[in-house]
Amino acid sequence: GLPDFAPAVVIGTGYGAAVTALRLGEAGIPTVMLEMGQLWDTPTADGSVFSPMLSPDRRSMWLKDRTEMPLASFLWIDIDRRIERYTGVLDRVHYGDMSVYVGRGVGGGSLVNGAMAVTPRRSYFEEILPAVDADEMYGTYFPRANHNLGVNEVDRDWFEECDSYQYARLSRKHAEKAGYRTTFVPSVYDFDYMRREEAGEVPRSALSAEVIFGNNHGKRSLDKTYLAAALGTGNVTIKTLQEVRDIRRGADGTYRLTVRELDETGGTVARREMGARYLFLGAGSIGSTELLVRARDTGTLPDLGEQVGQGWGPNGNVMVGRANHAWDLTGATQSGMPALGIDAWDDPDNPVFAEIAPMPAGLELWASLYLAITKNPERGHFTYDPTTDAAKLHWTAEQGRPSIDSAKVHFDRINGVNNTVYRHDLFGDTRTFENRFTYHPLGGAVLGEATDLYGRVKGYDNLYVTDGSLIPGSTGVNPFVTITALAERNVERVLAEDIRG
């Protein structure tokens, strides 16, 4: 059950939430984390915690009857499968022209993501968040985040000779032939473990295609890093299958939460109330924003401003596949964890950072896949829909067009030089560029707009946003290092001024 009250409550257990709980716990503040997903630490009958990637079971997805994979088809054959409805680890939330992938469970997105741990280019960070002191970020908080997340780099000699990254070496060859530069991508997947997977010394995870439905080995997800440390302080507890629905403020100035306890099929076990003096929203861009727009528009936190719900973007995500020549093999074994990206971010007209993504099917597919991050100035926003009691994202296909146009410039060039073509069979119909989903939802409660420069929500004391909602729609690279570093910076200030002070 839930306690009636805690000095601090953190909603969610993703990056922002985990950082915040650790620092509160270290400061001696009793803290309760409320997570709507499960704790993923117990093997089922097959001996593994997470679902296999290529034969997904009910553990794969959050309350769905079918899997909803990012690649919908191969040779136009539907690759999704029927599954039993269950509180699984990956959710895909649909909002008209855009759907958003998110992790559910203790660790949030860290359970399902590709582990790419990229610090944004300083000049771009200064462009998106000009009011944040970049010297402090690059001198203190980015290094702190990288250290605590357990970021490591692939051994370059091993990379050049291993089977698992043949697909990346092939894409590099094609990119370099077209005059592009590639860069290695740091990771929170343990590359030493991966090397031992390939050597046959340990059970396979990255080399067994595992990624979006969870990794059974090798990944330093938050439950192994920040959250383990938070629990280790003795001041933090995590309550699972607890979904926060409503936030009100009591007459004494404390917050009152309505919390729905879920069963494993998503049904309601109970609704309870819980109080908190300090409330931190770490439910992710779509989760925290929904809580705030609901609270504003149902009148439970009426002083929330117009900036709440604004400034959302998909980090310019676009997926694209190329068909390779018969002699250009990617190899049947492809590490599920990317290690290389094509860096065209300096292109003044079409900045693109394209991660070389695996297609880990266990057989040669003669295809190369990419997740491109583009710089798209379009932004979406959320409104509250009283008929569904949910937030609605306003984002149109038209707004995604600049991302496709930018990516196309570069992949046209790569195809042209290498005499290759796009794959038309990957995304359910014949389209070549897919941007109807994002892995990188950002914004909704932007730093310095809906909140002050440290995540304090405008209009209310002791109410904070700690997650990807703070970032205005784009980071130019995969976002979790930025989210982690900003959370480190903000909680330090809040502890010093609001809580200890």
- The CA angle 402-403-409, to the nearest 5 degrees, is 90
Q: Which residues contact 383 (CB under 8 A, 6 or more apart)?
A: 293, 297, 309, 391, 392, 394
Whether 120 and 477 have beta carbons less than 8 Å apart is answered as yes
Closest to ligand FDA by CB, 175 vs 487, is 487
User: 116 has which bridge partners?
Assistant: 187
Closest to ligand FDA by CB, 324 vs 340, is 340
Q: Is 52 exposed, middle or buried (0-12, 13-18, 19+ CB in 10 A)?
A: middle
In the bound complex, what is the minimum distance in angstroms from residue 9's beta carbon to ligand FDA?
A: 10
Q: How many CA atoms lie within 13 A of 406 on its CB side?
A: 28
Closest CA to 487 of 65, 149, 90, 213: 149
Q: Is 387 exposed, middle or buried (0-12, 13-18, 19+ CB in 10 A)?
A: exposed
Closest to ligand FDA by CB, 296 vs 420, is 296
In the bound complex, what is the minimum distance in angstroms from residue 243's beta carbon to ligand FDA?
A: 4
Closest CA to 223 of 107, 112, 111: 107
Q: Write down the residue that tokens 């400034």 correspond to.
A: 311
Closest to ligand FDA by CB, 287 vs 321, is 287
440 given a catalytic annotation: yes
In the bound complex, what is the minimum distance in angstroms from residue 470's beta carbon to ligand FDA?
A: 9
Closest to ligand FDA by CB, 99 vs 166, is 99
Closest to ligand FDA by CB, 287 vs 473, is 287
Catalytic residue among 198, 210, 261, 355: 355
User: 373 has which bridge partners?
Assistant: 317, 353
**Torsions phi, psi for 359 (to 5 deg):** -125, 80
Q: Write down the residue that tokens 């409330």 correspond to.
A: 279
In the bound complex, what is the minimum distance in angstroms from residue 295's beta carbon to ligand FDA?
A: 12
Q: Which residues contact 199 (CB under 8 A, 6 or more apart)?
A: none
- The CA angle 237-241-245, to the nearest 5 degrees, is 100
In the bound complex, what is the minimum distance in angstroms from residue 479's beta carbon to ligand FDA?
A: 4
Whether 318 and 374 have beta carbons less than 8 Å apart is answered as yes
In the bound complex, what is the minimum distance in angstroms from residue 348's beta carbon to ligand FDA?
A: 25
Closest to ligand FDA by CB, 39 vs 417, is 39
Three-state SS for 236? strand
Whether 438 and 315 have beta carbons less than 8 Å apart is answered as yes
Strands (E), 129-282: 182-184, 236-239, 242-249, 255-262, 268-281
Closest to ligand FDA by CB, 113 vs 324, is 113
For 13-80, the DSSP string reads -SHHHHHHHHHHHHTT--EEEE-SS-------TTS-SSPPSSS--TTSBBS-SB---SS-EETTEE--
Report the relative pairing of strands 340-344 and 352-357 from DSSP bridges.
antiparallel
Binding residues for ligand FDA (CB under 6 A):
11-17, 34-37, 101-105, 108-109, 112-116, 212, 243-244, 282-285, 287, 291, 439-440, 467-468, 478-480, 483
Closest to ligand FDA by CB, 101 vs 255, is 101
Active-site positions? 355, 440
